[in-house]
Amino acid sequence: MQVARQMPRSLLLRSAQRLFSTGSGYDLCVIGGGPGGYVAAIKAAQLGLKTVCVERRGKLGGTCLNVGCIPSKSLLHNSHLYHMAKHDLAGRGIKINGTVELDLGKMMKNKEKSITMLTKGIEMLFKHNKVDYVVGHGSLVGPNSVKVALNAGGEQVIETKNIMLATGSDVVSLPGIDLDEKQIVSSTGALDLEKVPEKLTVIGGGVIGLELGSVWSRLGSEVTVVEFLDAIGGLGIDSEVAKQFMAILKKQGIQFKMKTKVTGVVKEGGKCKVISEAAAGGSPESWGADVVLVCVGRREFKDNLGLETVGVELEGKKVKVDHHYRTNIPSIYAIGDIVKGPMLAHKAEDEGCLVSEYLATGKEPHLDYNCVPSVVYTYPEVAWVGKTEDDLKKEGVAFKKGKYVFGANSRAKANQEELGFVKVLADKQTDKLLGVHIVNAIAGELIGEACIGIEYGASSEDIARVCHAHPTLSEALKGAAQMTAFGKAINSP
């Protein structure tokens, strides 16, 4: 039997470069310089494609780096340190002489410093990898043409063999509630408040609302979260995890109004009046707030993108793509928030790389959304990957569960951070790992091992038998897997 031999990678790359780099114009134009777009542009250039990236913001990195993931993590980290200094360090034997004071201006400057360093870093990577960078709003004018309304004025037309749409998403508000980014703010405004509000109402108990509500709660705000559903954490969170997560946040002082619909926000007397009613309907109630944060989701950013001009098909609100991330127009691809799958930065990054590899080498793109992790960066963090118990019950899959609390973990006890648990879900018959859910101070770091396990079809016994360093928090994942695989963990009561 003849075995097909794969072309050596070096020859494959040279072949691809000859294919794409002949003639005028670019091999690839990426519209959008966020996590998906800038990563895709760099990867394409590294693989030999002549690449240009068009970004309207004027700073690379998209929402994530400029007004999302990165600045929120800066504030989450530093507000946690401040809160520890005020409320926790004395109990650890660390005395602070004098009062602990908040310098909000300095905290905000540190946030801006991290943004500047990272955005400049991407620009440097563009120069190093010879990616051209055009600042302006790009729109499709043909299958191989992009018109850019330049921020500096005028227009530029880019001719290119392939186009990748990576325009991300934008904040949305509720009907009748206008964002001024001062008193009634989106996540963008909440990252740039000039003083700590005495009372903050957060509309929406999803990931972004909980993270930013936590920041201002730690800094001294009286925070009330209003959620339309009966659970916090947004779509995809395990119901058992959501319940225990909310109990933890309540103990931290955050108040919740569940199954509640906000019908209006009115400014009066320098403050805001929030008006609501039960989600099922009923008598209205109202209360006051200094700042109202609206976190009710995000919308795909397709404004003036020219989709209709060239006839790009949609699938609901998403751009319709095939398994190669190609639209119905063969030369146009789309990734990130504007296509199906979770609206997460790391998902967009992977898609961008995959499409660039496909264009340069012909390597088939593959990304299993079931293996894309989600993280809520509160304290403790909440992270999960794979199926929830709710999913498995709905799908009729017989499963077994192992749950290991961090109170039984030696490192957690030594660190005085015993909150949370690990839950492992596995197929009852085959023991195949189906889902992992973690509540812990560093859950976002711990979830990576579970992602690898699910991606490569590991069993819970595989995780249980892997030697983990002692003492570490990662041993809790091993403990939960031992309970799933063997019915009992060594260190669990």
169 φ/ψ angles, rounded to the nearest 5 degrees: -145, 170
Based on the residue annotation, tell me whether 77 is a catalytic residue of this protein: no
Structure tokens that stand for 186 in this block: 């989106």
Neighbours of 22 (CB within 10 A): 9
Q: Is 303 exposed, middle or buried (0-12, 13-18, 19+ CB in 10 A)?
A: exposed
Three-state DSSP state, 215: helix
Reading the block at residue 276, the tokens are 């609501």
Any bridge partners for residue 285, and if so which? 276
Report DSSP letters for 155-190, one per residue.
Answer: EEEEEEEEEEE---EEE---TT----SSSEE-HHHH
C-alpha distance from residue 17 to each of 8, 22, 45, 54, 359 (Å): 14, 8, 10, 22, 10
Query: Which tokens belong to 27?
Result: 């091999």
Q: Are strands 298-300 and 169-171 parallel, antiparallel or unpaired?
A: antiparallel
> Which amino acid is residue 225, in one-letter code?
V
The one-letter code for the residue type at 292 is V
Distance between CA atoms of residues 120 and 480, nearest Å: 43
271-290: string of b/e by CB count within 10 Å (b at 16+)?
A: bbebebeeeeeeeeeeeebb
- Of 87, 137, 324, 470, catalytic: 470
| Contact of 476 with 412, CB cutoff 8 Å | yes
Interaxial angle between packed helices 104-128 and 35-46, expressed in degrees from 0 to 180 and rounded to the nearest 10: 30
Place of tokens 């602070």: 96
End-to-end CA distance of the chain: 57
Residue 183 CA to residue 199 CA, distance in Å, equals 11
Beta strands at 132-142 and 51-55: parallel, antiparallel or unpaired: parallel
In terms of Cα–Cα distance, which of 115, 163, 94, 139 is closest to 325?
A: 163
Residue 294: name the closest of 169, 378, 182, 185 by CA. 185
Token pair for residue 417? 């951070």
CA dist., res. 20 & res. 69, Å (int) = 35
How far is it between the farthest Cα atoms of the chain? 84
219 vs 101, 116, 183, 262, CA distance in Å?
10, 24, 17, 25
Q: Which residues are catalytic?
A: 470
